[in-house]
Amino acid sequence: MRVVIIGGVAGGMSAATRLRRLDADAEIIVIEKSGHVSYANCGLPYYVGGVIEQESALLLQTPESLHARFRLDVRVNTEVLAINPGKKTVAIKNLDSHETHELDYDKLILSPGAAPVVPPIPGIERGMTLRTVEDVEKIAAHVGAKPKSAVVIGGGFIGVEIAENLIHKGIQTSLVEATDQVLMPLDSELATLVAKEMIKQGVNLYLGSSVVSIGADSVELSNGDTVPAEIVILAIGVRPEIGLAKAAGLTIGSRNGIKVDDFNRTSNADIYAVGDAAEKTDALDGSATLVPLANLANRHGRVVADHIAGRTIRPVKTIGTAIVKVFDLMIATTGWNEKRLKAAGRAYQSIHTHPSSHAGYYPDAKQMSLKLIFEPTSGEILGAQGVGVEGVDKRIDVIATAIRGDITAPELADLELAYAPPFSSAKDPVNMLGYVAENILSGLTKVAQWDQIDEYVENGYDLIDVRSISECGRGMIPGAINIPVDEIRERQSEITNKNVLVNCQVGQRGHTAAMLLKELGFNPVNLDGGYLTWSNSPAANKAFIPN
């Protein structure tokens, strides 16, 4: 049996090596257009910044090492020109010798990845993309010439990573994002934390603006600003590479990726597609989705190899778990965000907490911000987000595992998670999310979100801030009245309105105050996530980002 794999890196190489482990006799040929077939593309921005000092650290395997260990026939600098499904052949071209010939196959695996989005604006040829080792070598060469300024176009994962690494190199760096926030998988009140961190570290942020032209040493923005840019890096996003598949008559899905079944087969039973080029199935609603993540590409490669080898396959839908580092922050997400749920018309309940990464009495505990979104009747977990200096990764990983295991939001309280003061609290932040969710779903307490404050005020609610006088001195929600939680019993006569919206710093004292006020005959609502969540929201930060 001859298996031809178009494209290496995560998906293609996972398929190739897994298949060899399952079948010692199969002829496995890998065709790779670039000069490198197996490298850590997620590490490319860190090579630009010098965090990863040697390029060789990014190169995981070579054609020679792959042949020595797995007897793979790996052909780099070779391009597939066309696929002929009827004849079961691919036309290939050696980019060094320019020779062309046809190669037949029994099974074909497409792993072409995704191509960077390059908009048709004047001067765009000066922009550099970051997808391959060749790309990073080009950028590193420009950075090595010690430019004074750089502009990164795009505020997604790659954009914020490359901006950080350019700052590490001492380059004045601006990031331009056409939407009103960085990192679109986050909701706005958490994305603001990332924007603040980037500004603090010296990145010039231009949100809600786009680049309309690129000059010799600057870029012009849609808001009229001209920003210095000796180098320009495009990180606008990626599109699945579907050219070969489309020309071969394979079905292209609703998201403009290659449509595949549970076994990653395309519309042709002898052709598979894996990685960024292939559509995935969303775990929440079963729709087609595009999730360009390395772990999914590796999983795809394994699934395809197992299917070709005749093994039983366990279909897995995607929940889109991801994480990124931005200077001193770690930012992680899983599942759907609030924006997407709103757009889909799905009912949901959000909760925010701001716990410490480990026990507060143990040195160096760091505060983080967590957001959990769940179905307001069943408690099904729909998504989660986290931002913080440490501890965010394991909390989002636990919640991602809970989603996969159909654990509901209240049941997070039941999880037995590893605890010792240097690592967590006796009530882990994940447990605390479960307790809050249980209080809401059981009807014990009612909460309002940061963007509902005006609505509650318009409906006749008074704002009561139950923090200490000193805390309120550092900032309050406009219109709030300060009555510390410990003084509510004695000062309840000052609360003349039965309908009150209560806030504290992070929501915990607000919950205590709301329960007390309820016993005293009031109709209290607790502000979810407290003053801290509101202070990070767009409502409280209308003027902090330059445009």
The verdict on 106 and 248 lying in the same domain is yes
End-to-end Cα distance, the chain = 59
Question: How far is 235 from 158, CA to CA, in rounded Å?
Answer: 6
Alpha-helical runs (H) found in 177-242: 188-200
The verdict on 102 and 244 lying in the same domain is yes
Structure letter (DSSP) for residue 318: B
Q: How confident is the model at residue 517 (pLDDT cuts 50, 70, 90)?
A: very high
Structural domain of residue 85, as residue ranges? 2-115+239-308
The verdict on 63 and 163 lying in the same domain is no
The verdict on 258 and 292 lying in the same domain is yes
- What rounded mean pLDDT belongs to the chain? 96
Residue 544 has pLDDT above 60, yes or no: no
Global pTM value: 0.94
What are the tens digits of pLDDT across the range 266-304? 999 999 999 999 999 999 999 999 999 899 999 999 999
The verdict on 207 and 263 lying in the same domain is no
Q: What percent of the chain has pLDDT over 90?
A: 94
Residues 6 or more apart from 334 whose CB is under 8 A from it? 319, 320, 321, 322, 383, 384, 385, 396, 399, 400, 403
The verdict on 227 and 254 lying in the same domain is no
Question: How far is 480 from 474, CA to CA, in rounded Å?
Answer: 13
What are the tens digits of pLDDT across the range 71-108? 999 999 999 999 999 999 999 999 999 999 999 999 99
Residue 314 inside a domain? The answer is no
Among residues 412, 441, 470, the one where a domain terminates is 441
Please give the distance of CA 364 from its chain centroid, rounded to a whole number: 27
Enumerate the β-bridge partners of residue 272. Answer: 109, 265
Q: What percent of the chain has pLDDT over 70?
A: 99
Q: Looking at residue 539, what is its pLDDT?
A: 85
Among residues 207, 236, 265, the one where a domain terminates is 236
Residues 6 or more apart from 470 whose CB is under 8 A from it? none
Matching residue, tokens 């950075």: 143
Q: In what order do the strands lie in the sheet with 78-84?
A: 78-84, 89-94, 100-104
The verdict on 232 and 246 lying in the same domain is no
Question: How far is 162 from 198, CA to CA, in rounded Å?
Answer: 12
> CA-CA distances (angstroms) from residue 6 to 35, 89, 104, 114, 241?
14, 12, 13, 13, 11
Residue 401 inside a domain? The answer is yes
Residue 322 inside a domain? The answer is no
Question: How far is 90 from 6, CA to CA, in rounded Å?
Answer: 10
CATH of the domain at 186: 3.50.50.60
Domain count, the chain: 4
Question: How far is 91 from 108, CA to CA, in rounded Å?
Answer: 13
The verdict on 243 and 256 lying in the same domain is yes
Residue 323 inside a domain? The answer is no
Residue 543 has pLDDT above 90, yes or no: no
Question: How far is 438 from 436, CA to CA, in rounded Å?
Answer: 5
Question: How far is 510 from 516, CA to CA, in rounded Å?
Answer: 10
The verdict on 280 and 418 lying in the same domain is no
The verdict on 210 and 130 lying in the same domain is yes
Q: Which two tokens stand for residue 109?
A: 């695996």
The verdict on 93 and 38 lying in the same domain is yes
The verdict on 182 and 259 lying in the same domain is no
Long-range contacts: 44-47, Cβ < 8 Å, 24+?
44/130, 44/133, 44/135, 44/136, 45/130, 45/158, 45/161, 45/162, 45/164, 45/165, 46/161, 46/165, 47/136, 47/140
Residue 321 inside a domain? The answer is no
Q: Which two tokens stand for residue 280?
A: 């995935």
Around Cβ 388, how many Cβ atoms within 10 Å? 24
Residue 512 has pLDDT above 70, yes or no: yes
Do residues 171 and 187 touch, judged by C-beta distance below 8 A? no
Q: Which two tokens stand for residue 530?
A: 């407290």
Residue 41 inside a domain? The answer is yes
Among residues 413, 441, 469, the one where a domain terminates is 441
Residue 387 inside a domain? The answer is yes
51-55, 404-408, 423-427: least confident range: 51-55
Q: Looking at residue 174, what is its pLDDT?
A: 98
Residue 506 inside a domain? The answer is yes
